[in-house]
Structure 1
Amino acid sequence: MDTVKPKDRDFIQTVDDHLFCVVGYLHPPDGYTAYLKYVPSPDGKWGKDGRRYSRTLPFYHVSQVENTYRYLKEKYPQYLFDCPVRNITISWVPKSHVKQYYHPREKLGEIMSRGANDFLERKLLDLSTVLEDKAGIKNRIGVTGSILTETHNPSFSDIDLTVHEDNASRKLIEALRELKEEADLVKPVTPEEKEGWVKNRAERFPLSVDDLRNIAEKRWNYGYFEGTYFSVHPTRTDEEITEDYGDNTYHRKKVVEGTTTVSDNRDSIYLPAVYGVEDSDEVSEVVSFEGLYGSLFEVGDRIRFKGVLEEIRGKDPHYRVLVGGAGSPNGYIKWV
C-alpha cells in the first residue's frame, strides 16, 4: 500500500467500515487526505458483503463535504486532522485505521482477469476497451466510485473512470470528444439534460445561467455508453506527483476578487485544477478544488475570480487564489 503514492479518487475502507474518497495528491506521511463518501446504513441503496451503505453527499460541493465534518466531529473525531501544512482542519484517514485501500487501475485489471460479475461490470469492460482503442492507450484506465469499492448496484449505478498519466489523459480527452461527435458507441448528454444540469447548478453556484450554459458545452468528460451514464477523470502518475507533504506550507490571507488572464491551463484537467495566470499583481495561480471549473478556460481567456488568497512558503514560494477548498467562501471562476 505504501509503495504507490496515493492518488485522487482512490478509495479507502476504514476499520469501522466507512468509505472515504481520496482527494488530490498532498497527504501526510501517516495518513490520507480524503472525504467521507459512504456510511454504513441498514436502509442504504449500496451494498457489500451483507452490509448496506448510504451516501453522505447528495452532490459533491465543498459545503457538502464540510457537512460531513460535523458528523465526524460528533462520532469519529479520529478522521479529522488539523493539518500543519495547509493550516486548516481536513478530513483524513490515518494509516492505522485503513481496513482496505482500493486502487482504480488494480480493480479494473482484476475485473478483466476474472470476468464481469454483472451487466454493469460488462459495460465497464466494453467501455474501457472502446476508449483505449480510440485513444491508442493501454493499461492507463481505472475504475473508481462504487464499482471500485464493490458496493455498486447495477440497476442505477454509474461508471466512473480514471485515466492515468498526462499524455494518456490528453489522448483520451480527444478520443472521447470524437466518439461523442460520432454518437455511435458513445452518446453525448442531450440538450434537455444539459438544461436540467444548468438549472440545478444555478441553485448552488454564484454563476449566471449563461455562464453555466457555457460550462455545460465545454464539459468533455461525461456521456452515455449503452444507456449508462459515465464520467472520466484524469489522474497523475507517481512520477507526475512532484510535491511532497511539507515541501511547502499554505497560509490563508483574505478573500479576494479580481480579473486576470489565463497563461497556462495544462494542469486544469486534474483535481485540483490549476490555472497559471498573468497580469495579476501578486497572484500566479488560480486553483480550484471544485470540479466544475476544471478543463474550462483556455490560454488567453480573461477570467473573473473570487476565492481565498493563499501565500505558499517553502520550495515554491508564490501566491495563489483558492476556489472551492475546505473552509473557503462560495467563490467562483468565470469568463469576463
Structure 2
Amino acid sequence: MINKRAREGFFVETKEKLIFDVKGNVHPPNRIISYLRYFPKKTGDRKRNKENYEKVYSLDERTAIISRNYPQYQFYDANFGLTLQGVSIVNLYKIHDPVKFRLNLSEKNTISSLKKNALDLTNILIDELGINENKIGITGSPMVDLAKRGSDIDLVIYGSNNVKKTREGLKNLFEEDNEIKRYNKKGLRTLYQFKSNDMNISWEDFIQIEPRKIFEGTFRNIDFYIRGVKDWNEIEHFYGDFRIKKFYNATIEGTIENSDESLYTPCIYKIKNSRILQSNIDPINIDEVFSYRGRFCELLRAGEEFKAHGKIEKVILKSGESYNRLIIGGNKYDFLKLKKGE
C-alpha cells in the first residue's frame, strides 16, 4: 500500500510513467498538488529502463503538455481559487521520498558518480554540521534515475532547526572546504543564462541579489542547490483551513519587514509600506510576498526597499480573518528585486 503523504522535495509518479514534482506541503485529500517534470518521449535525452524521457522546465510548457495530452492531471481547486496540476490518488503509482532515497543509496556498493557526489555532500552536512540524517534527502533527477551528463545535485532539508543550522554552517564550509564553493561571477553568469528564459529580471538586478544565496554553489565542480522545508509538525495551516480569492496581476513596491521565512520553500517575505503601481487598481494593503519557487528564496533582507510583480490574492482563514499577499512565480513575467536596482 502506498503512503499517500507527500511534501515539497518529493516526486510522484503516475501509472502512465509521468513524473511530477510536489509543490508545497498543503494538499487536498484526494490529490497531491504537483507539476509535470519528466515524461516519456521517444526523442527525449534522458533514459530510464531503456525508455527515453524529456525534462520540462518552464511552467508554460508544463501547462501546455498537461492540457494537451493529460488533462486528467489538471483540476480547479476552490480553496486555492485557481486551476492546478496534481496527481489523484487513483492514478498514483509511486511516491519518491528524497530522505528514503538517500538512506537506501548509502547502503549500496555501486552507484553513479553523481549519486556518490550527492551522497558525499549530504554526509559532510551530517558529519560537520550535525544535520539529522533522517531530515536530509537527495531529490531531483538522480532520485528517479533520470540524471544525465551535466545534471546537478539537488538536496532537501526538513525542519527549521536543520535548515538554519545548514545555512550558518555552509558559510564556514565555503571558507574552509576546498570542495564546496560559492558561485563566482562566471558561475553566476552561467546560472543567469540558464534561468533567463523563465525569469523576468535583468543581469544587473540579478547580480545584486543572487550572490546573497547560501543554499547554492558547487561541490567538486558540480552545481548544487539546497531546498529548506518546514517539517510536518511546523506546518501552520492545512487544507481547508483557508481559501484564496484571486484578484489581479500587479506590480508593487514596498519595504521588507521580515525575511526570516525566505529560507524555506514555500518562501515568505513580510512587507510594509506597500504600494500598487498601476493607477487603475484600487489601493489595498499587501502584507507579504509569497512564492512556491525556490529561485525567490534568500534574496532580500529586512529594511530593504523592493519592487515585485505577481498576482494579488486575499487569503481568508477559517476564523474569518484575512490578509493580502502578492504571489510570485506563477508565470515568467513575475519578478522580485531591489528597488534601487532599477
| Normalised TM-score (structure 1) | 0.90
Residue 135 of structure 1: aligned partner: 129
Given the alignment of the two structures, is residue 118 of structure 1 paired with residue 112 of structure 2, yes or no? Answer: yes
d(CA) in 1 for partners of 2:196 and 2:36?
Answer: 25
The structural deviation recorded for 1:200 is 5.2
Distance in 1 (CA, whole Å) between partners of 2:299 and 2:144 is 30
The Cα shift of 1:214 comes to 1.2
CA RMSD in angstroms comes to 2.1
CA distance in 1, matches of 2:155, 2:197: 27
SS in 1 for 2:107: helix
Question: Identity over aligned residues, as a percent?
Answer: 24
Of the three residues 302, 308, 312, the one matched with 1:309 is: 312
Please state how far the C-alpha of 1:225 moved relative to its aligned partner: 1.9
2:14 maps to 14
Whether 1:173 aligns to 2:173 is no
**1:225 partner amino acid:** F
Aligned partner (choices 59, 67, 86) of residue 92 of structure 1: 86
SS in 2 for 1:114: coil
Name structure 1 gaps, 5 residues minimum.
58-63
CA–CA separation in structure 2 for the residues paired with 1:201 and 1:143: 22
Separation of aligned partners in 1, 2:200 and 2:118: 35
Give the residue type in structure 2 aligned to 1:18: L
Structure 2: 5+ residue runs without aligned partners? 275-283
Q: Does the 8 Å CA contact 1:309/1:319 hold for their aligned counterparts?
A: yes
Structure 1 CA distance for aligned equivalents of residues 179 and 29 of structure 2: 43
| Per-residue CA distance 1:273-314 (angstroms, 9 max, x = gap) | 111112335211111234322111111122122221111112
The CA distance in 2 between the partners of 1:17 and 1:202, in whole Å, is: 29
Is the partner of 1:194 in helix, strand or coil? helix
Q: Distance in 2 between matches of 1:213 and 1:73?
A: 36
Tell me: CA distance 1:249–1:99, structure 2 relative to 1, closer, same or farther (3 Å).
same
Show the 5 A alignment for 1:258-297: 258-280=252-274, 282-297=285-300
Contact kept? 1:11, 1:103, Cα under 8 Å: yes
Alpha-carbon distance in 1 for matches of 2:272, 2:2: 38
Alignment counterpart, residue 228 of structure 1, candidates 211, 218, 222: 222
Q: Report deviation, 1:88.
A: 1.0
Aligned-partner Cα distance in 2 for 1:4–1:262 = 37
- Give, as a single letter, the amino acid of the residue that structure 1 aligns with 2:136: I
Q: How many residues are paired up?
A: 327
1:38 is aligned to 38
Could you list the per-position Cα deviations for residues 188-240 of structure 1 after superposition, in whole angstroms to 9, with x for gaps in the alignment?
Answer: 22321212334555565333332111123112222222232221111221111
After superposition, give the CA deviation of every residue in 1:43-69 in whole Å (9 maximum; x if it has no partner): 323222222211122xxxxxx213222
Shift of the alpha carbon at 1:165? 0.5
In structure 2, relative to structure 1, the CA distance for the partners of 1:125 and 1:70 (3 Å cut) is closer
Q: Is the contact made by 1:179 and 1:185 (CA closer than 8 Å) also made in structure 2?
A: no
* Shift in Å, 1:167: 0.8
